[in-house]
Amino acid sequence: MYICYSHKYFLFSIIILHFSNFICQLKEINTGNSSINCKSPTKPCVYTKTRKIGAYYVVPKYKLHTCVMGKNFSSMIVAIFCYLFDEKKFFSIHNHLNEDYFNNHACKKENQGKTFKELIKKYSNGKKKYFFNKWKHFIIIRNPIERFISGFTHICVYGKDSLISKKTCFNCNGDIECFINKLYEEIFLVLNGKKKYAEYHLRHHFFPQSWLV
């Protein structure tokens, strides 16, 4: 079973005028009365990249599995899966789901895997077909522009004076055009093999969701 859920937590009425040159992973994207054709854009479109490692969480007793992506209700999903995985341990550390965040996860990495191969070997005795057919798999997908705005306002605007923000947001000081252009360049450095990994918060919150599955 696959469940697609769009979590609408932040609502913004912001028009991003420079977003059209950012990421268009489909050959053509509708934008009202016009469209962006990725065959001949002003800049090359970002193409799909296969993910080698990810953040997968499981609850074996319920045969539940999810893939977590930043700014897609990720903190709450990790907390819920930890609670379902080991309720006693969760409440020995936290009183509420929203207390389980980033470096304060109750379950640490006990119910986490980095690859499908690792999960199948550990929880399904290496039986791939059994894992896919008998377990329930779901993922939360957010509107990409909504996700971008949420990440940008959270990390690059509200927290722009923090060290994490300066590192993640390219010292753009809240300038959205500056950030988008530098993010675009960073993505292509990774795509072209000139850089192995982007900074964690940058790739977790801003890289294309199709890379994170």
Residues 77 and 93 in one domain: yes
Q: What are phi and psi of 59, to 5 degrees?
A: -130, 90
Among 138, 170, 197, residue at a domain's last position: 138
Domain that holds residue 165: 144-207
Q: Domain check: are 121 and 180 in the same one? A: no
Domain match, 101 and 151 both: no
pLDDT, tens digit, 9 for 90 and up, residues 97-145: 999 987 789 998 899 998 889 999 999 999 999 999 999 999 999 999 9
Beta bridge partners of 57: 66, 112
Domain-embedded: residue 180: yes
Instruction: Select from 94, 110, 138 the last residue of a domain.
Output: 138
Q: Which whole-number Å values give the CA distances from 172 to 51, 167, 177, 199, in the listed order? A: 28, 10, 9, 15
pTM: 0.74
The verdict on 131 and 63 lying in the same domain is yes
28 domain residue, yes or no: no
* pLDDT tens sequence across 65-79: 999 988 999 999 999
* Number of domains observed in the structure of the chain: 2
The helix, strand and coil proportions of the chain, stated in percent and rounded to the nearest 5, come to: 45, 10, 45
* Same domain? 59 vs 132: yes
Provide the pairing of β-strand 64-67 with 56-59: antiparallel
- Picking from 138, 167, 186, the residue at the C-terminal end of a domain is 138
